[in-house]
């Protein structure tokens, strides 16, 4: 019985700490994906955070559209990179359109 509890505890800790050393995740920001067209252009804008103390950047949709030369945004994604429990984090907004 004790070995079952130990195994369960190990699995629970592993599940809770998944991605704590390094993670790189991309997810959609749009919710209506029925007939999404990406367009011919892509723009990106990022913000950064270090040691939970300082952060900088502009990850807004307007900044990403400007960086990609877009006048129409059709779809958006977010990419989050996280290193060592968030000691360094980079969040990037990716926009697609024309």
Residues 92, 79 contacting (CB under 8 angstroms): yes
Beta bridge partners of 9: none
| Interior angle at CA 52, CA 80 and CA 49, nearest 5 | 45
Assessment of whether the complete model's pTM goes beyond 0.85: no
Does the pLDDT at position 1 exceed 60? no
pLDDT one-digit tens code per residue, 39-94: 889 999 999 999 989 999 999 999 999 999 999 888 888 999 988 888 899 999 99
Q: How far apart are CA 79 and CA 94, in angstroms?
A: 7
């Amino acid at each position: 019985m004790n070995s079952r509890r130990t195994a369960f505890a190990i699995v629970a800790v592993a599940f809770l700490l998944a991605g704590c050393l390094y993670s790189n995740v991309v997810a959609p920001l749009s919710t209506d994906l029925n007939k999404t067209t990406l367009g011919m252009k892509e723009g990106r804008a990022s913000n950064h955070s270090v040691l939970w103390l300082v952060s900088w950047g502009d990850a807004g949709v307007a900044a990403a559209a400007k960086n990609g030369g877009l006048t129409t945004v059709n779809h958006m994604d977010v990419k989050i990179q996280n290193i060592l429990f968030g000691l360094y984090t980079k969040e990037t907004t990716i926009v697609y359109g024309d």
